[in-house]
Every structure is written in structure tokens, then in C-alpha cells.
């Protein structure tokens, strides 16, 4: 049995994910079911979900998203100790073939239920600490009761917040999977929490969870080849146990049914036209006979949504823009970008979808002709939105970051711009941004010219073939040792 512990997962209609990690873990779940791999993924159930935005007096106001419990099956109750008190709740399960997703719902006491009510949203550092400690203890208890540690082939910990599991139960084949090189990927806590909860007098202050995880795990995994160097630069003393397993997507989940098994650029063109028309109709987007350019991702600074806003102003062609994504309420830049996306959607040729669930993202991809992937190079761990577009034969204009550089070749299966930086430079680097925006706009113009000339379909088909081969879950499962 493969056991994965994760803060978020995007499966079915559940609202238990905020961004790329949740969708990736959902893809692994569905791939395991399809491939017959015994797989259990454990996460918290967040009764209030993540965040939604309601319009009030012309402003976007954050509110709880809510969540659904009726698609889950109650398995049994659980009890653990945290903060010197008994914490209790229930295990709820979602099954698909050989895969099981286990949701840990916290019922009591009130402080524990409050701490786990929303994804990535806590009132205090104590709430944040105990939220993930409860997940770890309940996950360990689940494995002991329903699986047995001798039956666990790998214990994969997704992001540093799940490292608490190794303080509760060591496992010889535990692996820490790091999904971001950015500072928030290495969360810290005051060492007093570890003293109060475990009796440990930790040597470091604050305690860095990624450091703990890499120390205790058999292996550290970076989610792209490029990110291996970044992790080794941050944790050089653990570099001997860090390797790269580049992310992938579950092709059957993300491909349009008309796009399966195509053998030529002409077949792709005809199939894409059908898929595009259907998706535009479902989205309510009017773009018949026009090129559609899309930017749809989690809204935060390093992903540079301001690039597409400037592009809307600068492109003097008859194109339609589809925008998507939402920000964490505490991300001032992201919230401001949401407002600007909403203002831009007042134009006849701009559409904005703030709530980017899986079904909406699929339709945006299927409706698109050119996908935009614009992170500030050095900050993106992998990225998967360009993969989802590529396996549908939608080529990207992309910065040289994350997993892009492993497969994409400029002018062959997409268009590349900007430098390929290996380290985190400050995001407020206006000279870099200005220079890269100019090249970005030039590459978008090249893509539009290719569409006009018909050469676009050769590039689109090259993306279709190369992305399906490399960014498949079969390759990822082999690299992880699942199959």
C-alpha cells in the first residue's frame, strides 16, 4: 500500500483544495485507481472549504466556500491527544477502485474544530500548529487500525506541514515531497510548541519543518529536475538524499474525449475545433472564429498575472482573453489582481472566472488556443497548468521555469521567453520584469502569426505528442516506484 498524507486534495465535488497541490494529489488518486495501485491518501476535511468571493457594493469580499460531506462514507471514529486534551472526530472515505481518499473530520473540542475549519486559513500560530499535528496523529492512527505499518510500501508526505507524522511514528520508507522552493514552502514554528507537545528541547529557533522532514525521511523529492538544485542550495546538508520526480497529470481526467488517440495535426485541428466550440458554449464565452488566449492559475505575485493584464492593453488583434483564479484573502497583491481581472472583464473580449474548480479549468483549457504560463523564473516548483493544456494540444507561451524546461522547445511545441534562473531573486525586480514582458509579448505575437499562417497546428500537435509521453501519470508512478 502507498500512503500519502497531504494538506489538500481535489477530487469529485469536494472543496478540499486551493491550488496545484490539491489537483495534483487528486490526479494521483485517480491514476492509482485506473492503474490498480493500492493507494491511500489522507487529508483533513475542512467544513468551510477554502475561500470564495462574493460581490458586495462593487467589491469582492472573501467568505467561507463551504464543503460537501454527502459524497463521503463514514468509516469510524477516532481519538488522539493534543494540547493535553482528547481530540475526536470521524474518518470519512471516498473510494475509486484500488484507491481510497480518507478525510479526517474534527468534531471536538471546539478549539480543535475551529483550527481545522478552513484550508490554509488560521487565526493563530497555535491553530496552525495543532491543525497539522491533529492531521498527523489521526493519519498515523488510521494506518495502524486499517492498513498496518508492515503493509506500507512508501509513506509519502506532501509538503512540510505533514512532517509531524514522523514525530508521531517513524517509517523506514518515508519520503518528503517538497512542492515549492519559495519561503512559504518551509514553514516554521516556535520551539515551545514542540516542548509543550512532545517534551522536545529543539536546537533550532524557530523550528523549520522542511529541515525536520529531510532529517527524518529516507528521501527528499523535488517536483522537477530544476528544483533539485534549488532544494540543495537551501538544504545542502541533505542534498545526498534529494532527487527529482517531475510532476505529471492524469491524462484521462484532463483530456477532452474528442482528443484521445489522434494521429496527425489535421486530426487534432478538427477535434480541437469541436472541443473548443463545446467548451465556449458551456462557459458562456462568445469567441466564435477568434483566437482565445487564456491565463488561469492561483492568483499570487510570482505567477505574474500582471503580464496578461498588460497584454490585454497591448495586443491589437481580434482575440478573446479568458482569465481565471483567486487569491488567498491575506495576499494583498493577489486580491488586487482579482479586482483588476474583474475590471478587465468589463471589456467585450475579456472573461474572468474567479472560482477555478476542476470542471471550469477543463473547459477553459478546451476553449483555448494559446495558454499563458508566466511565473517569475526560479519561483515555480513545477507547474501543471501548461501540462494540462499541452496534452490537449494547446501550446503555451511560457517562462523558463519549473518543469517547462524539461520538454518545451521554443518554436517546436510552444514558445519560451525569459531567463532560466536557478535561484530565488526578489519578485520586485522591475528591470527583469520589463525585459521579460517585452519578450513575452513578442512570443505571443509569434504564436498569433503561427495561427494565422497555419503553422500553429504543427506546433500544437508536437505539444500533444511530447506532453502526453512525458507528463503522464504512468511515467510519474514509475519514477516514484509505485509501479
In this predicted structure, the answer to whether residue 415 has a pLDDT above a threshold of 90 is: yes
Q: What integer best gives the mean pLDDT of the chain?
A: 95
In this predicted structure, the answer to whether residue 152 has a pLDDT above a threshold of 80 is: yes
Which of 87-91, 420-424, 467-471 is least confident? 420-424
Tens digit of pLDDT for each residue in 17-31? Answer: 777 899 999 999 999
Cβ–Cβ under 8 Å, residues 230 and 181: yes
Half-sphere exposure of 188 toward its Cβ, with a 13 Å CA cutoff?
Answer: 9
In this predicted structure, the answer to whether residue 13 has a pLDDT above a threshold of 80 is: no
In this predicted structure, the answer to whether residue 210 has a pLDDT above a threshold of 90 is: yes
Predicted pLDDT of residue 199: 95
Tens digit of pLDDT for each residue in 432-466? Answer: 999 999 999 999 999 999 999 999 999 999 999 99
Cα–chain-centroid distance for residue 177?
Answer: 13
Sheet strands side by side (includes 2-5): 73-82, 85-96, 99-108, 39-44, 2-5, 154-158, 174-178, 219-222, 242-244
pLDDT grade for 175, boundaries at 50, 70 and 90: very high
Provide DSSP, 5-21.
E-S----TT-----SHH
Q: What burial class does residue 277 get, using C-beta atoms within 10 Å of its C-beta: 0-12 exposed, 13-18 middle, 19+ buried?
A: middle
Predicted pLDDT of residue 45: 96
Tens digit of pLDDT for each residue in 222-261? Answer: 999 999 999 999 999 999 999 999 999 999 999 999 999 9
Cβ–Cβ under 8 Å, residues 28 and 40: no
Which overall architecture, per CATH, does domain 255-470 show? 3-Layer(aba) Sandwich (3.40)
Specify the pTM.
0.96
DSSP 163: G
Structural domain spans, the chain: 2-245, 255-470
Quick check: do 2-245 and 255-470 share a fold?
yes
Predicted pLDDT of residue 43: 97
- Nearest CA to 159 out of 140, 184, 134 is that of 184
Tens digit of pLDDT for each residue in 49-64? Answer: 998 888 888 778 888 8
**For the chain, percent of residues with pLDDT exceeding 90:** 89
In this predicted structure, the answer to whether residue 129 has a pLDDT above a threshold of 90 is: yes
Provide DSSP, 308-372.
HHHHHHH--SSEEEEEE----TT-HHHHHHHHHHHHHTTSTTEEEES---HHHHHHHHHH-SEEE
In this predicted structure, the answer to whether residue 128 has a pLDDT above a threshold of 80 is: yes
Determine the Cα–Cα distance for residues 476 and 483; give it in Å rounded to an integer: 9
Q: What burial class does residue 439 get, using C-beta atoms within 10 Å of its C-beta: 0-12 exposed, 13-18 middle, 19+ buried?
A: middle
Predicted pLDDT of residue 15: 72
Helices (H), 102-236: 110-115, 125-142, 164-168, 191-198, 209-216, 225-234
Mean per-residue pLDDT for 176-196?
A: 93
In this predicted structure, the answer to whether residue 16 has a pLDDT above a threshold of 80 is: no
pLDDT grade for 276, boundaries at 50, 70 and 90: very high
N- to C-terminal Cα separation, the chain: 11
Evaluated on CA atoms 341, 344, 346, 352, the torsion sign reads negative
Nine-digit cell at 122? 488560521
Tens digit of pLDDT for each residue in 428-440? Answer: 888 999 999 999 9
pLDDT grade for 12, boundaries at 50, 70 and 90: confident
CATH fold for the domain made of 2-245: Rossmann fold (3.40.50)
Amino acid at each position: 500500500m502507498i500512503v500519502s498524507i497531504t494538506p489538500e486534495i481535489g477530487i469529485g465535488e469536494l472543496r478540499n483544495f486551493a491550488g496545484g497541490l490539491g489537483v495534483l494529489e487528486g490526479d494521483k488518486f485517480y491514476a492509482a485507481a485506473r492503474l490498480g495501485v493500492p493507494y491511500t491518501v489522507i487529508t483533513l476535511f475542512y467544513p468551510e472549504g477554502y475561500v470564495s468571493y462574493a460581490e458586495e457594493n462593487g467589491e469582492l469580499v472573501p467568505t467561507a466556500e463551504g464543503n460537501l460531506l454527502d459524497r463521503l462514507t463514514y468509516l469510524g471514529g477516532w481519538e488522539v491527544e493534543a494540547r493535553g486534551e482528547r481530540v475526536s472526530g470521524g474518518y470519512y472515505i471516498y473510494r475509486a477502485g484500488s484507491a481510497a481518499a480518507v478525510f479526517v473530520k474534527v468534531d471536538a473540542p471546539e478549539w480543535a474544530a475551529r483550527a481545522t475549519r478552513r484550508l490554509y486559513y488560521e487565526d493563530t500560530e497555535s491553530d496552525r500548529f495543532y491543525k497539522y499535528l491533529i492531521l498527523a496523529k489521526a493519519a498515523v492512527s488510521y494506518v495502524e487500525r486499517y492498513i498496518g505499518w508492515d503493509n506500507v510500501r512508501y509513506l509519502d508526505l506532501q509538503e512540510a506541514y505533514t512532517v509531524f507524522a514522523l514525530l508521531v511514528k517513524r517509517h523506514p520508507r518515508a519520503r518528503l515531497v517538497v512542492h515549492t522552493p519559495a519561503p512559504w514552502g518551509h514553514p516554521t514554528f516556535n520551539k515551545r510548541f514542540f516542548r509543550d507537545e512532545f517534551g522536545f528541547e529543539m536546537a533550532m529557533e524557530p523550528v523549520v519543518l522542511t529541515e525536520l522532514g529531510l532529517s527524518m525521511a529516507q528521501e527528499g523529492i523535488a517536483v522537477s529536475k530544476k528544483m533539485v538544485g534549488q532544494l540543495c542550495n537551501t538544504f545542502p546538508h541533505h542534498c545526498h538524499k534529494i532527487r527529482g520526480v517531475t510532476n505529471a497529470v492524469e491524462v484521462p481526467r484532463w483530456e477532452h474525449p474528442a482528443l484521445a488517440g489522434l494521429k496527425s495535426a489535421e486530426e487534432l485541428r478538427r477535434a480541437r475545433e469541436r472541443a473548443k466550440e463545446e467548451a465556449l458554449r458551456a462557459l458562456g464565452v462568445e469567441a466564435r472564429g477568434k483566437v482565445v488566449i487564456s491565463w488561469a492559475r492561483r492568483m499570487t505575485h510570482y505567477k505574474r498575472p500582471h503580464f496578461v493584464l498588460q497584454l490585454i492593453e497591448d495586443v491589437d488583434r481580434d482575440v478573446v482573453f479568458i482569465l481565471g483564479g483567486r487569491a488567498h484573502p491575506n495576499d494583498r497583491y493577489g486580491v488586487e489582481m482579482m479586482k483588476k481581472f474583474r475590471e478587465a472583464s468589463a471589456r467585450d473580449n475579456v472573461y474572468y472566472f474567479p472560482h477555478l474548480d476542476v470542471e471550469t479549468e477543463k473547459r477553459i483549457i478546451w476553449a483555448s488556443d494559446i495558454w499563458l504560463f508566466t511565473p517569475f523564473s526560479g519561483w515555480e516548483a513545477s507547474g501543471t497548468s501548461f501540462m494540462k493544456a499541452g496534452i490537449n494540444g494547446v501550446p503555451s507561451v511560457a517562462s523558463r521555469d519549473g518543469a517547462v524546461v524539461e520538454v518545451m522547445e521554443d518554436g517546436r511545441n510552444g514558445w519560451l521567453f525569459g531567463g532560466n534562473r536557478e535561484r530565488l531573486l526578489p519578485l520586485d525586480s522591475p528591470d527583469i520584469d520589463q525585459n521579460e514582458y517585452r519578450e513575452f509579448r513578442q512570443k505571443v505575437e509569434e504564436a498569433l502569426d503561427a495561427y494565422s499562417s497555419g503553422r500553429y497546428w504543427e506546433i500544437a500537435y508536437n505539444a500533444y505528442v511530447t506532453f502526453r509521453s512525458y507528463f503522464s501519470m504512468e511515467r510519474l508512478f514509475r519514477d516514484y516506484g509505485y509501479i
